[in-house]
Amino acid sequence: MQRRYPFLDHPGPLAFAHRGGAAEGRENTMAAFSRAVEMGYTYLETDAHATADGVLLAFHDHTLDRVTDRHGRVAALPYREVRRARIGGVEEIPLLSDVLGTWPDVRVNIDVKEAPAIAPLAEAIRRTNAYDRVCLTSFSDMRLARARMAVGRPVCSALGPRGVARLRAAAMGSGYGRLLGGLARDGVPCAQVPVGFRGMRVTTRALVRTAHALGMQVHVWTVDDQGVMESLLDMGVDGIMTDNISGLRDVLRARGQWHPRPTAHA
């Protein structure tokens, strides 16, 4: 039987503010997260990087260069230098513990970007008692497994790359029974997948059906076009991650599927 994870206990489809809604504000900033929460979003998506001295940031890139007014690799710099960086020349890079601690009723999907982030991430989850409010994901199976182990208690997590490949293969009928058995034993409660990858369609009706047969949700990233949102929802996906947070809210409202936080101005 699939373990029940409180992270996923919410009327669906789940609406994720990707990096706080990067199309409508400076990504991965407290201002962006705050705006999404005020709009009614229960789910935020962000990333985990650690500085050279182990300070955990909600920050996507490996370097400061693209989104801040400073330069350098995050993992090679001490926090006293990184904290001077301003996203868009204006806003501080938030600590991930502040994101977890500021809104105790909000759930946070966390992409673990590098191995040095694992230990401080586990500590931040412990310190904020966020075990039931986080979902861990990574583009590295090894990093994801190490993060789960470091947390030390069951937390929601998504399939890693190998699991997604097995799910796709099973959905296409390749080694169906063997692959489904392996996925079922893993007990991972959700698959977080793109619409497509390198010219290949990833999110299909068959993939959604296969995941659902395993008791697994399907969350799709990063979807900003409202027409694509509609088609995915018609397909039966369980969640959408978007930079276009106003657009997703409008689509879900029109379908009678918008379920805002009770205290939000939504």
Active-site residue list: 18, 60
Of 35, 53, 42, 31, whose CA–CA distance to 9 is shortest?
42
Q: Is 243 helix (H, G, I), strand (E, B) or coil?
A: coil
d(Cα 172, Cα 168) in Å, to the nearest integer? 6
Alpha carbon 182 to its chain centroid, in Å, reads: 24
176's enclosing H/E stretch is helix 176-186
Using an 8 Å Cβ cutoff, are 255 and 229 in contact? Answer: no
C-alpha 100/C-alpha 47 separation (Å) is 12
Q: Work out the number of other CB atoms within 10 angstroms of the CB of residue 116.
A: 17
Cβ(44)–Cβ(21) below 8 Å: no
Six-digit token pair at 63?
A: 């370097």
Q: Which residues contact 209 (CB under 8 A, 6 or more apart)?
A: 171, 236
- The residue count of the chain comes to 266
